[in-house]
């Protein structure tokens, strides 16, 4: 019995030390878009669940870090059957670059030690503007909401080119939240999405570098995971 207690203590200590050295972080983040329209401001948001786990080198990426997320794109209903989608992209990269200035006053601050950054990031309150276009999610629409092949990339600086005069992107913000991950909003609009097996917009082109942005989109760009 005494040996079992000792073994249990040693195992507990080993687990504790491992978790200190290789922590795991998880959080939910809310992406919100505001669009100026002739009818006033239209908004849409979605909440994505994130998990980052540190481990010994050689697991996951070169550093031993594994990253995952689940959730769906943000959708803005612009009326008259028109919608603006902010795709998932890489939400962890977006979070790192959006919240870096909120974590440090150093204008040259970089997320070098993520084990320190993530706990501080998770304490940030309220929405923070996504700082510039490099970190914006990909914006798309469908000229015919019932036709997957009508998907069209949107220039965040020129919504009017796709939607008409009076339409412009007012803001994109990111926020740490306790709200649950969004489910069902995208498929409510894109009822055909669950039937898509390959690319959203099929192409007969042979090489990847010949494909347009629209021709490289998959279901996972709109919805990822089913937790």
Give residues with Cβ within 8 angstroms of 23, minimum separation 6: 53, 54, 115
User: Could you give the CA distance from residue 160 to residue 37 in angstroms, rounded to a whole number?
Assistant: 9
- Note the pLDDT of residue 141: 98
What's the DSSP call for residue 130? -
Q: What is the pTM of this model?
A: 0.85
Report yes or no on 80 lying in a domain. yes
Report yes or no on 16 lying in a domain. no
With cut-offs at 50, 70 and 90, classify the pLDDT of residue 3.
low
Report yes or no on 79 lying in a domain. yes
User: Stretch 117-123: mean pLDDT, rounded?
Assistant: 89
Report yes or no on 1 lying in a domain. no
What's the DSSP call for residue 9? H
pLDDT digits (tens, 9 = 90+) for 60-102: 445 567 889 999 999 999 999 999 999 999 999 999 989 988 8
Report yes or no on 171 lying in a domain. yes
Report yes or no on 137 lying in a domain. yes
Task: Determine the structural domain holding residue 200 and report its residue range.
Answer: 23-224
Does residue 61 or residue 114 have the better pLDDT?
114
Report yes or no on 165 lying in a domain. yes
- Note the pLDDT of residue 185: 95
pLDDT digits (tens, 9 = 90+) for 135-176: 999 999 999 999 999 999 999 999 999 999 999 999 999 999
Report yes or no on 45 lying in a domain. yes
Q: How far is the CA of 42 from the CAs of 4, 29, 75, 193, in angstroms?
A: 62, 20, 10, 24
Number of neighbouring beta carbons within 10 Å of residue 28: 19
Domain count for the chain: 1
Are 18 and 10 within 8 A, CB to CB?
no
pLDDT digits (tens, 9 = 90+) for 20-71: 456 889 999 999 999 999 999 999 999 999 999 876 655 444 556 788 999 9
């Amino acid at each position: 019995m005494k040996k079992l207690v000792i073994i249990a203590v040693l195992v507990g200590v080993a687990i504790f030390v491992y978790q200190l050295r290789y922590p795991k972080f998880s959080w939910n983040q809310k992406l919100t878009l505001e669009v100026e329209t002739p009818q006033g401001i239209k908004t849409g948001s979605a909440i994505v669940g994130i998990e980052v786990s540190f481990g010994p080198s050689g697991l996951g990426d070169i550093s031993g870090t594994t990253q995952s997320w689940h959730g769906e794109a943000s959708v803005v209903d612009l009326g008259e059957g028109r919608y603006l989608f902010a795709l998932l992209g890489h939400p962890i990269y977006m979070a790192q670059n959006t919240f870096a200035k909120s974590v440090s006053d150093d204008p040259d601050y970089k997320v070098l030690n993520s084990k320190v950054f993530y706990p501080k990031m998770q304490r940030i309150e309220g929405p923070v503007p996504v700082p510039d276009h490099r970190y914006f999610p990909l914006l798309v629409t469908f000229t015919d909401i019932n036709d997957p092949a009508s998907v069209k990339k949107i220039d965040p600086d020129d919504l009017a080119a796709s939607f008409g005069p009076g339409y412009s992107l007012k803001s994109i913000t990111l926020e740490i939240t306790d709200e649950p991950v969004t489910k069902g909003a995208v498929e409510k609009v894109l009822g055909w999405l669950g039937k898509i097996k390959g690319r959203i917009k099929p192409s007969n082109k042979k090489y990847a570098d010949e494909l347009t942005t629209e021709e490289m989109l998959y279901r996972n760009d709109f919805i990822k995971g089913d937790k």
